[in-house]
Amino acid sequence: MTAEDRLEEDVWERKYHLALERMERDEREFQAVEELLRRLALRLAALVRNPDDDVDALLGRLTAALRYGPSAASIEPLLDALSEAVTRADERAGIESPAGQSEADVGDIAEGDTATVAALRADMARLQELLAVVSARLGDMARYLAGELEETAAGEGADRALDARVREEMRELGEKTLAAADLVSLQAEVTARLSLIDQHFREHREREDARLATYRERAARMHHRVEELESQATSLQDSLRREHELALTDGLTGLPNRLAYERRMADVESEVRAGTGVACVGAFDIDHFKAINDTYGHAAGDAVLRIVGQALARELEGRAFVARYGGEEFAVVFHDASPAEAEAQAQDLCAMVAKLAFHASSKPVTVTMSGGITRFNASDSVAVAFDRADRALYAAKRAGRNRCVLV
Ligand X SMILES: Nc1nc2c(ncn2[C@@H]2O[C@H](COP(=O)(O)OP(=O)(O)OP(=O)(O)O)[C@@H](O)[C@H]2O)c(=O)[nH]1
Q: Which residues are catalytic?
A: 328
Phi-psi domain of 12 (left: phi exceeds 0; alpha: psi -120 through 50; beta: other)? alpha
Using rule CB under 6 A, residue 250 touches ligand X:
no
The minimum distance between CB 342 and ligand X, in angstroms, equals: 21
Among 107, 139, 147, 327, binds ligand X (CB under 6 A): 327
Residues 134, 142: contact at Cβ < 8 Å? no
CB atoms within 10 A of CB 333: 22
| Residues comprising the chain, all counted | 407
Using rule CB under 6 A, residue 61 touches ligand X:
no
Q: Which is nearer to ligand X, 38 or 288 (CB)?
A: 288
133 alpha-carbon distance from chain centroid = 46
Among 88, 207, 391, 397, binds ligand X (CB under 6 A): 397
The minimum distance between CB 327 and ligand X, in angstroms, equals: 4
**Cα torsion through 251, 253, 259, 262, rounded to 10:** 170
Using rule CB under 6 A, residue 293 touches ligand X:
yes
Q: Which is nearer to ligand X, 52 or 390 (CB)?
A: 390
Q: How far apart are CA 7 and CA 1, in angstroms?
A: 10
CB atoms within 10 A of CB 224: 10
Using rule CB under 6 A, residue 290 touches ligand X:
yes
DSSP string, 93-159: TT----TTS-TT--TTS-TT-HHHHHHHHHHHHHHHHHHHHHHHHHHHHHHHHHHHHHH----HHHH
Q: Which is nearer to ligand X, 197 or 305 (CB)?
A: 305
CB atoms within 10 A of CB 170: 24
Among 141, 166, 305, 396, binds ligand X (CB under 6 A): 305
The minimum distance between CB 291 and ligand X, in angstroms, equals: 6
The minimum distance between CB 303 and ligand X, in angstroms, equals: 9
Site residue total, ligand X (CB under 6 A): 16
240 alpha-carbon distance from chain centroid = 27
The minimum distance between CB 395 and ligand X, in angstroms, equals: 12
Closest residue to ligand X using C-beta atoms: 301
Per-residue x/- track, 260-289, ligand X (CB under 6 A):
-------------------------xxxxx
List residues binding ligand X (CB under 6 A): 252, 285-291, 293, 298, 301-302, 305, 327-328, 397
